[in-house]
Structure 1
Amino acid sequence: MEKKLEKKVLGASLIGSSIEWFDFFLYASVASLIFSKQFFVTDDPTVSNLIAYFGLALSFFIRPFGGIFFAHIGDKMGRKKTLVMTLLLMGLATVAIGFIPNYETIGIAAPILLLLCRLIQGLGIGGEWGGALLLATEYAPAEKRGYFGSVPQMGVTIGMVLGSLTFYVMTAVTTEEQFNSFGWRIPFIFSGVLVFFGLWIRKGLDETPDFKEVQESGKAPKVPLFHTLKYHWKEVLITSGAKFVETAPFYIFGTFIVGYATEKLGLKFENIMLIVMTSAVLTTILIPIYGKLSDRVGRKKLYLIGAFAMFLYMFPYFWLLEHKSTGAVFIATVIGLSIIWSPITAVLGTMFSEVFNKEVRYTGVTLGYQIGAALAGGTAPMIAEYLMGKFNGSYVPVAIYIMVIAVISIISVLSIKNKKAEDLVHTSIN
């Protein structure tokens, strides 16, 4: 593959996932600060906060439906066309949030429009990941597939860093009154620049070689979803289970820790955010390194090492946190997020793409990813909070919960037979 084409493919696969997670952290950052007070106005601040966070969860609930819809288009019409549509949906909805007047200006229409934008974002995001992944892996030379497949995964931590950094800058250059008035809107509007750049890159690409081959052979199923559920339901279950240990610990290390460290451990909010951002930068660097390593040692082996390490780490993780120092939290987060989690996420996408036949690959990887994310992803912080409240603030149930998650993923991946690097068409399930 020419270097110029390689850069275009990797850039096109990375930009969408970066925007996806940039948007997630933008909304999460101002949910209680802005949206609960300016859009979801009630007499009870707690209720306002809950509705604001429901807006965050709404995107997760709608993603599987967006995934099914766009995966069908992706397997029938092509990866490129689908990725242009998903990026436009995500981008337009994110920019629109920056222009919605608040409750004081337009009344009940404000929260309705905001939730509508979140629904549209969720639909686009649901179909984005699978397409971005396949754009990378189906263009990749066999000996570089692990590296190519790891690049879209970098979007998670890049989005985290961009979201945190953008608001850090905005709060630094505006007064509190200015930020509450218009400053919070600028990052949402700025995302339009990223969307334009992403569309420019994607429009210059052709369809993937694998999709062209399916079209020329005439073997594409009429309804990829039904075909996948009938003939590849085991693979869907396996990939959903494999997603568990990649998604639940991420929200513990990246989201739950913020509230836990500030409220339970008495540490400063800005210090914890800096720790998470620093860990995310390090993780972004390590993901492609682990991706390249998987081309030498295999996806399954690297994933299982990470999953076993996650199982063993949860009690030491909370033991470190209980030291109640910024340094201990930094060490705990770097080990968990950067060292243990990064090899799991680095190989996850490539491993998924190698499980499904190319005729239904978009549908298969999307179902596995979105079902796993819905079951174990956004719910992780809520489950952790509930367990701590139920057991008098003890971290033991939370540690056991993540260990169980790890066991489910380990069992799932152990059922995948090792594949040869040059074979991306079929896989065998024990």
Structure 2
Amino acid sequence: MVLGDNEVSQSVEASSLHRRIQVRRAALAGSIGTTIEWYDFFLYNTAAALVFPHLFFPASSGYAGAMQSFATYAVGFAARPVGAAIFGHWGDRLGRKATLIVTLLLMGLSSAVVGVLPGTDSIGFAAPLILVLLRLVQGIAIGGEWSGSVLLAMEWGDQRKRGLLASFAQVGVPVGLVLGTGGMTLLSATLTTEQFDSWGWRIPFLLSLVLVIIGLVIRLRILETPMFAKVVADKKTSKAPVKDAVRHHWREILLSAGLRFSEQMPFYLFTSYVLVYVVERPEFSKTFVLNAVLVGAVAELALIPLFSQLSDRVGRKRVYLTGSVLTAVIAFPYFTILSHGGHTLIFIAVIVSLAAHAMQYGPQAALIGESFPTHLRYGGAGLGYQLASVFAGGPAPLLATWLLHLTGTPYSVSIYIVLSAVVTILCVIALPDRSKANIDDASVYLRSAR
């Protein structure tokens, strides 16, 4: 049967409409999924700074309790590459959608359990052990979540707008930060210290279950991405995608990890360690610092897509390098203001620090994702992204606490930030800019890998 011109036109329009609907659903699924994941993650970060030291490590001194609490925080980061490898394998074998549903459930359920976990005074040493185990589960879930959420939007949408589309998953981070930190801020401001420390902090963790239900409904309505569906149809899926990604694209994996240093390491100082550092000054409350971080996160909601869209026009590397240089420039002024500045200056410093982060974090998803072929992209991009967690993000609050204790000056932390920026600048320069490349053509990447 031969279709007439009108029927062909209607078919094309229907196909175009269907794709636009799926692009919107994929972008929404990616952003909401990462919002839930990072909401849970930032709840833990905030609680690790404000509650966990005396709840799970009551016998320790203030310094030792903070170190032990941030050590459990770092455990989750160490588990992320494991999650990237596990879910990267299945994401490149079975598809993006099914894998993302599993990561969502893991993260939400483990966070809800944290919300009902008794302290050391109730169940003894089992309390911190269970906390560490739950943190491991969270880290594994986060490790598998990121690349799938990014690819869901990036592989469905207009390839001329990859930077913008991939950034929808990145927007989930500041949204999660707003919800998680905002919830803690509200409770901290409305409850007494005793109420907040005993039961108030648990409420946001339990609300994770509600968010998980919302996320599942959205993710169940999306279809597999056309790029990966084509790989399946052509029978080009790898039997061992993670192994093949490491074998053929180890350089891209290492450079992807390195380019994250000046984005990830300072970010966890700007959003977590700052809560501990500033409240050491008696004139500042934890509510004030939480409010500053909250406003900075709201600013990132606009800045992440803005810088991502800019990277579609001028190239990822140009925007990314600007952000990493800015991070190095503000490293010393930032801690000068935190140490000696008043309320207004500290508020501005926190917002500016997160703006520098947005300049890198926005284009980052596409910059890393487009460095790998479709059939190895979930595992390759995930490994590159999450390896930085072990060396940059996870140890950051722990090392900052140790450096300040060792040297007595916050400028040792500033040097730490500058060094991270140097690593990033070198790695970004070495990584090819594929902003305009056709990432649907795996042969381009396979030739470059040989």
Q: TM-score, normalised by structure 1?
A: 0.91
Matched, 1:271 2:288: yes
Give me the whole-angstrom Cα distance separating, in 1, the residues matched to 2:266 and 2:384. 18
The one-letter amino acid of 1:100's match is L
Q: Secondary structure at the match of 1:144?
A: helix
Return closer, same or farther for 1:25/1:374 CA change in 2, 3 Å cut-off: same
Q: Which segments of 5 or more consecutive residues in structure 1 lack a partner in the other structure?
A: none
> Aligned residue for 1:413?
428
Q: Secondary structure at the match of 1:232?
A: helix
> Aligned residue for 2:387?
371
Q: Secondary structure at the match of 1:92?
A: helix
Q: Secondary structure at the match of 2:223?
A: coil
Return closer, same or farther for 1:111/1:359 CA change in 2, 3 Å cut-off: same
> Aligned residue for 1:226?
243
Offset at residue 180 of structure 1 (A): 3.9
Offset at residue 17 of structure 1 (A): 1.8
Residues 327 and 418 in structure 2, CA contact (< 8 A), matched pair in contact too: yes
> Aligned residue for 1:402?
417
Q: Secondary structure at the match of 1:100?
A: coil
Matched, 1:216 2:233: yes
- Using the TM superposition, name which of 41-50 and 166-175 deviates more: 41-50
Give me the whole-angstrom Cα distance separating, in 1, the residues matched to 2:49 and 2:390. 23
- Using the TM superposition, name which of 77-86 and 92-101 deviates more: 92-101
Give me the whole-angstrom Cα distance separating, in 1, the residues matched to 2:357 and 2:398. 20
The one-letter amino acid of 2:428's match is V
Return closer, same or farther for 1:165/1:296 CA change in 2, 3 Å cut-off: same
Counterparts of 1:8-407 in structure 2, within 5 Å, are 8-31=25-48, 33-40=50-57, 42=59, 49-263=66-280, 267-338=284-355, 340-393=356-409, 395=411, 397-407=412-422
Offset at residue 194 of structure 1 (A): 0.9
The one-letter amino acid of 2:402's match is Y
The one-letter amino acid of 2:426's match is I
Give me the whole-angstrom Cα distance separating, in 2, the residues matched to 1:325 and 1:349. 36
Q: Secondary structure at the match of 2:116?
A: coil
Return closer, same or farther for 1:313/1:324 CA change in 2, 3 Å cut-off: closer
Residues 182 and 290 in structure 2, CA contact (< 8 A), matched pair in contact too: no
Return closer, same or farther for 1:231/1:199 CA change in 2, 3 Å cut-off: same
**How many residues of Structure 1 are paired with residues of Structure 2 in the alignment?**
428
- Using the TM superposition, name which of 258-267 and 221-230 deviates more: 258-267
Give me the whole-angstrom Cα distance separating, in 2, the residues matched to 1:298 and 1:380. 29
Give me the whole-angstrom Cα distance separating, in 2, the residues matched to 1:43 and 1:402. 29
Residues 49 and 275 in structure 2, CA contact (< 8 A), matched pair in contact too: no
Offset at residue 143 of structure 1 (A): 1.9
In the TM superposition, what whole-angstrom CA distance separates every residue of 1:219-239 from its partner, at most 9, and x where no partner exists? 222111221111111111110
Offset at residue 337 of structure 1 (A): 1.3
Return closer, same or farther for 1:394/1:168 CA change in 2, 3 Å cut-off: closer
Alignment root-mean-square deviation, CA:
2.5
Give me the whole-angstrom Cα distance separating, in 1, the residues matched to 2:77 and 2:170. 18
Return closer, same or farther for 1:212/1:65 CA change in 2, 3 Å cut-off: same
Return closer, same or farther for 1:26/1:380 CA change in 2, 3 Å cut-off: same
Give me the whole-angstrom Cα distance separating, in 2, the residues matched to 1:404 and 1:27. 27
Return closer, same or farther for 1:275/1:171 CA change in 2, 3 Å cut-off: closer
Residues 22 and 156 in structure 2, CA contact (< 8 A), matched pair in contact too: no
Return closer, same or farther for 1:399/1:265 CA change in 2, 3 Å cut-off: farther
Offset at residue 355 of structure 1 (A): 0.5
Return closer, same or farther for 1:420/1:51 CA change in 2, 3 Å cut-off: closer
Residues 417 and 429 in structure 1, CA contact (< 8 A), matched pair in contact too: no
> Aligned residue for 2:23?
6
- Using the TM superposition, name which of 215-224 and 315-324 deviates more: 315-324
Give me the whole-angstrom Cα distance separating, in 2, the residues matched to 1:318 and 1:103. 34
Q: Secondary structure at the match of 1:218?
A: coil
Give me the whole-angstrom Cα distance separating, in 2, the residues matched to 1:317 and 1:77. 46
In the TM superposition, what whole-angstrom CA distance separates every residue of 1:126-177 from its partner, at most 9, and x where no partner exists? 1011111111111121122111111111122112111121122233444444
Q: Secondary structure at the match of 1:288?
A: helix
The one-letter amino acid of 1:245's match is S
The one-letter amino acid of 1:56's match is Y
Give me the whole-angstrom Cα distance separating, in 2, the residues matched to 1:42 and 1:420. 53
Give me the whole-angstrom Cα distance separating, in 2, the residues matched to 1:213 and 1:354. 17
Residues 278 and 339 in structure 2, CA contact (< 8 A), matched pair in contact too: no
Q: Which segments of 5 or more consecutive residues in structure 2 lack a partner in the other structure?
A: 1-15
Return closer, same or farther for 1:265/1:233 CA change in 2, 3 Å cut-off: farther
Residues 267 and 324 in structure 1, CA contact (< 8 A), matched pair in contact too: no
Give me the whole-angstrom Cα distance separating, in 2, the residues matched to 1:298 and 1:98. 43
- Using the TM superposition, name which of 267-276 and 55-64 deviates more: 267-276
Return closer, same or farther for 1:288/1:49 CA change in 2, 3 Å cut-off: same
